[in-house]
Structure 1
């Protein structure tokens, strides 16, 4: 999809969501733009850029570039009137080129189209590249056209997580500028990273490329390559070594990554990409009661969305976890998979809110797998029902937090559905209550819990397996890989040591509840 084109007379296409606003362009590069005439205001959507041609009107929300060194007053008036009819974003002229008798403020006000002046040091193709970078970067939530020094690595890492493959970003000389490897990489990618340059086996196939395309490397498999467009030239390349779960949308996503990366090639980096932080703070406020769902929906340009899903991500079996330092990477990765997703980390659990749509479980599972790579260890995830109000989201947040504890205690990391986990979440709530009231865990099991020999833990494992098997000794014995008679003997010993009757429904229920509370509190 072409979103910016500087060729004379060419106009472009589609306005992305969320829309880029004109003030972002004006503030993206220090010293580039001056507002000559604000007209009715510069807070306008921006979807692309086009060179002014009287024979070809600009597209809606386009930035109209007037490259003539000395345009006549009549030409400028015609350009502004045409831009007004097309609902263009603004008109851009070269600094100091306006005729002396041309009242730009009055003409711009009548047309309702702001006029910007660009400095002599800035090329028209550079403006086109910056607009493309802003529009493509908006897909990933980038709020600035001036990236940070580490931002290129963040962009590569987010792309690698979303695309389930190794991503390498190079300059035009095919020197490696940034890379990200979410998992095991092949020999060719390893060689590329270590040598800091794309091997000869790949270089010859890059030259004719103008859009993202698959190539086949003998002995190494397929590669997806997207040129990084800087005006009419290629400033570098984005290269993907696909993984087992690389989505069909990979060419589009990598193309947008390449377009966003162009901002690194047109000026010295400055400023900060803060959309991740803005969305995170809005979601954090919503979850903690200081914000609203409406404010977040407005930020995402989704004010009419009625149904949302919330998912939680937490560490599995105490193998690390989600920390605040990975919040931005997770947020950008989530938006690559769903442009309207927002991510925030609260208390070692990440929460992701996104508009409800068919197939939310597939999105949740894919994001869980990629988030685990960023977190450095396996994660579990839980998905809520569709939610409609701020109160719904906050109520579900607490349950999702408990659901993470439930899933974390299981043998394998999985993505669960909160509707299926509610009985287990209730027990988790009781486990939290037991923290303040430890006497709830005292009773017949004390004999086993205070036994320092391996026997105590072995008998507690026996009880847990029996309860998990629905009190079926045969199934429980198979799960523990012991003979059924051995298992039955253990149950008899437990009854004798603890002075209990496992045939008594109330005693059995109390014992099971205490065993499960102990599991959620860390085990024996």
Structure 2
């Protein structure tokens, strides 16, 4: 037993792994008892090995170091194990050795279980801290100074400008979803040294990047749409400070919401290109009055106002080109012209007249924003 109890020093006992002998306390004693009696390790002894695995993980040791240290201690103690020295026959020696090897395997397996359990716990704790930070960052619920300090841990410097992109797809996504992992892996591979944070929020993918790195958000949008098999991405404007992240995030969400209510073209929306819409709805009452006045007469049309409202939308969206609007609506040019004439008769406004066109176009946009005629104004 002298080889296992310390006469050869710490390095010999642990195989030069850097693992303290404290973690191996009692291990060679167990092997000696197993060798002498042939018994298996008890539940308490296995729990002790699991605890050793947990402690070594918490101290930052690698699992390979811990396993190697146990195997080195077993190898050092092997020649002095009482069962092998006292066995009367070769068969008995083989039986004792088999029992000792089983015990070593049990002990090492328990150490690995404890190590992995500690690692899983550490990962869960880190994920909880990260999730709390993301919630506070996107909703601005924490003290800004404290938030800026926490942001450094996740690679963000909130004193600088940041922009937020949000991707919405056919499914809801969380941090463990394969789509999330695929996009995050692509970002890390492409922008390893940059200060980028990716997360999920309310079933959507979210990417926070410095405002000067527009290529990062463009790449995120591209990879998100590929991984999701479609979907839509909105990119907010860059704003300074922790409050700027919240502002950019809200702009992205508003752009996605706007795209749901209005038939906006394009898979990637930029909040900077949609600033006119918040302006139009800032005075909701005035916009509602315009919609009622300019488009209200369309309610008397056969089939209701929606077909004529859609006609105006596509006509204006196509640059007032009748042939293109007719193609989008799957109508003949003659049928489209009839509808435009009907709109002029009902509203008294001519879509071909520049002044009337501006009023009608604004009213149509307002109808989409206010969900008219589905919602009464």
Q: TM-score range by the shorter chain?
A: 0.5 to 0.7
Residues 464 and 515, structure 1, Cα contact 8 Å, conserved in 2: yes
The answer on 1:513 being equivalent to 2:323 is no
Between Structure 1 and Structure 2, which shows a larger proportion of strand residues? 1
Residues 132-156 of structure 1 deviation map (CA, whole Å, 9 limit, x = unaligned) = 69xxxxxxxxxxxxxxxxxxxxxxx
Contact kept, 8 Å, 1:276 with 1:332, in 2: the verdict is no
Question: Counterparts of 1:518 and 1:457 in 2: how far apart (Å)?
Answer: 10
Match of 2:308 in 1: 459
TM-score scaled by length of structure 1: 0.44
What is the CA–CA distance in structure 2 between the aligned matches of 1:455 and 1:429, rounded to whole Å? 29
> Which of 285, 306, 309 is equivalent to 2:136?
285
Q: Structure 1 residue 365 and structure 2 residue 216: aligned?
A: no
Matched, 1:311 2:168: no
CA gap 1:72/1:425 in 2 versus in 1, 3 angstroms: farther
**Using a 3 Å threshold, how does the CA distance of structure 1 residues 436 and 357 change in structure 2: closer, same or farther?**
closer
3-state SS, counterpart of residue 313 of structure 1: strand
Q: For the residues of structure 2 that align with 1:289 and 1:122, how far apart are their CA atoms?
A: 40
When normalised by structure 2's length, the TM-score is 0.58
Q: Is the 8 A contact 1:312 1:351 kept in 2?
A: yes
What is the deviation of 1:286?
Answer: 2.3
2:254 pairs with 392, 398, 402, which one?
402
Q: Which residue of 2 aligns with 1:351?
A: 206
Is 2:286 the partner of 1:472?
A: no
Match of 2:174? 326
Report whether the alignment pairs 1:95 with 2:20.
Answer: no
Equivalent-residue separation in structure 2 for 1:401 and 1:72 (angstroms): 68
Cross-structure match for 2:297: 447
Contact 1:406/1:428, CA 8 A, preserved across alignment: no
Report if the CA contact (8 A) 2:167-2:232 is conserved: yes
CA shift at 1:404, angstroms? 0.9
Q: Is the CA contact (8 Å cut-off) linking 1:313 and 1:379 kept in structure 2?
A: yes
Tell me if 1:430 matches 2:280: yes
Residue by residue over 1:166-208, the C-alpha shift from the partner in whole angstroms, topping out at 9 and shown as x without a partner, is xxxxxxxxxxxxxxxxxxxxxxxxxxxxxxxxxxxxxxxxxxx
Q: Residue 336 of structure 1 is aligned with which of 170, 174, 185?
A: 185
Whether the aligned pair in 1 keeps the contact of 2:158 and 2:240 (CA below 8 Å) is: no
CA distance in 2, matches of 1:351, 1:267: 30
Contact 2:237 2:251 in 1 (8 A): no
Q: Measure how far apart 1:400 and its partner are.
A: 1.5
Whole-angstrom distance in 2 between the partners of 1:441 and 1:493: 18
- Greater Cα offset, 476-485 or 382-391: 382-391
| Partner SS state of residue 294, structure 2 | coil
Using the alignment, how far apart are the partners of 1:307 and 1:263 within structure 2? 45
Asked which structure has the greater CA Rg, the reply is 2
In 2, Cα distance between the equivalents of 1:263 and 1:484? Answer: 73
Could you tell me which runs of 5 or more consecutive residues in structure 2 were left unpaired when the two chains were aligned.
27-46, 64-104, 189-195
Q: C-alpha separation between the residues in 1 aligned to 2:237 and 2:204?
A: 18
- Write the deviation string for residues 320-350 of structure 1: whole angstroms up to 9, x where unpaired: 775xx8366476555434355232526x765
Q: Is the 8 A contact 1:407 1:413 kept in 2?
A: no
Spell out the pairing of 1:246-325 with structure 2 (5 A cutoff).
271=121, 273-291=124-142, 292=144, 294-303=148-157, 306=160, 308-314=162-168, 322=172
**Corresponding residue SS for 1:444:** helix
Distance of 1:279 and 1:269 partners within structure 2: 16
- 3-state DSSP class of the match of 1:482? coil
Shift of 1:456: 2.6
